[in-house]
Structure 1
């Protein structure tokens, strides 16, 4: 197998993919803006090769991709600057092609679908985003799929729902975990009784590596659904119970989100995505399971227990 590189590796999903590669004894490259951040996350792993890049400079992208067979793209942007998603994707594809990369895997999201038309959303559900963020993510996906159709390199997309897990701070459940652990009040975006699904981050890495290694995966998109349909309330009550505390919840509705947005850029940008709280996208991943066979999905109770345990033992926190 050729070298695999994780572009934007310093986040939670990057760590999960790195864990999967490490368990397979496979050398890999981690690429990010910050040498210090990469060293902190991967410096102790002899299998990890650390490379820095500037995703806004094509020459830097090409240099970071030299000698790579498969590029896994996990690059995030500020929530208030989603216009960068297609810009950086275009430059990454150009640099990857110039460097001779054979395959590219984009880790995507449900945003390009827009409002769901069906109870379960399969890969062939129309992509009709009505939000700016959804449109930017769709444009990013279009670039990836076009690169495959044009024969420039093999590409595929894995879409994920909301996620959570040990040391996963960029999760809507993270504040609830911290509140339960510290005895505080969980701040939630309502309504909190609508159906929802979450994926446990350590489960993602093995799926990504299996997909990257499967020749039949390329030229299309794939969904990874969560560990079952639940609700925010159900999970947060369970989180507090695991922490040994009675649940304390504070729920912000859409008007409160808009009001908070006057002072907090993240909340201001979150307002346009509020439809996901009332008409959530619940994914159908039967195609992925048909391709890969059994897909490990940690039950919510186990995932919550492991996340609380990581908060109690910070020295052992994380997915590595």
Structure 2
């Protein structure tokens, strides 16, 4: 049995890939509700309860960790949140595949690759570093079979809470102005959600994928302006881009906690943010969906 924690866009992308392969799937969320194919079961569990988490993972063979606590509560909740999933995987004797981002590297000059040290100075970057180090330690001690797939800001069908989620695409499909963070003329790597989900499944299937982190396939980095101009062109409208800096985020943070928490990560949008995923593609033969095709699929799925 494949157990997926999280019924958000990434968990759903993993589910679709497993179902296409004819694999049995159980999804787990706090609500226990999700729109899924009839062959997929959805169960309720509070991951902050260790016993409940272990019970829901009984008989699991592979566990996909695609869930997270609220963004503004990472510092206090994410470590115990994931620790309970780790405990459940160990108890079940299951392999663990963990979805991560690249916060742990901190600000990098040049492209990011898997061999970089964890030099983050932000709160959330340090949390990510601690979590990754914990997973690698358990693998090295022979306690847990684990691999990590790292993606960038992702986009695609049903992606909402992302810098390039539905809040960006909804105005584009209506020909209205969209708003982006930071400097739109800096290069940025964006991850298509279907590529991320497929990559995590691929990692789960190869023994030599375990014990390390991999950058999931991404198309070549473009400037955020180029990304958005492509979306407007495919939607049939002229581009209309507005920008938002720290001042606006601080104002928004008075009312939206997630906006306040985004301020320390703004460096990713004020500088070039380029992720090298060539190692994954060379080893597993999986390349990213071409950016224009991925943006077109996102536009088609955007509900206005």
**Superposition TM-score, scaled by structure 2 size:** 0.94
1:303 aligned residue: 294
Alpha-carbon distance in 2 for matches of 1:211, 1:306: 24
Alpha-carbon distance in 2 for matches of 1:172, 1:219: 30
Q: Secondary structure at the match of 1:51?
A: strand
1:68 aligned residue: 60
1:177 aligned residue: 169
Alpha-carbon distance in 1 for matches of 2:94, 2:161: 31
Q: Secondary structure at the match of 1:206?
A: helix
The answer to whether the Cα contact below 8 Å between 1:109 and 1:161 also exists between their aligned partners in 2 is: yes
2:228 aligned residue: 236
Which of the residues 3, 6, 19 maps onto 2:4? 6
Deviation of residue 17 (structure 1)? Answer: 0.7
1:195 correspondence with 2:187: yes
Which of the residues 213, 217, 238 maps onto 1:246? 238
1:145 aligned residue: 136
The answer to whether the Cα contact below 8 Å between 1:114 and 1:130 also exists between their aligned partners in 2 is: yes
**Superposition TM-score, scaled by structure 1 size:** 0.90
Alpha-carbon distance in 1 for matches of 2:190, 2:163: 10
The answer to whether the Cα contact below 8 Å between 1:197 and 1:225 also exists between their aligned partners in 2 is: no
Moved over 6 A (4+): none
Gaps of 5+ in 2: none
The answer to whether the Cα contact below 8 Å between 1:224 and 1:283 also exists between their aligned partners in 2 is: no
2:112 aligned residue: 121
Alpha-carbon distance in 2 for matches of 1:121, 1:252: 25
Alpha-carbon distance in 2 for matches of 1:287, 1:239: 28
Residue correspondences, number: 302
Gaps of 5+ in 1: 315-320
2:38 aligned residue: 45
Alpha-carbon distance in 1 for matches of 2:182, 2:271: 12
Alpha-carbon distance in 2 for matches of 1:101, 1:282: 36
Q: Secondary structure at the match of 1:241?
A: helix
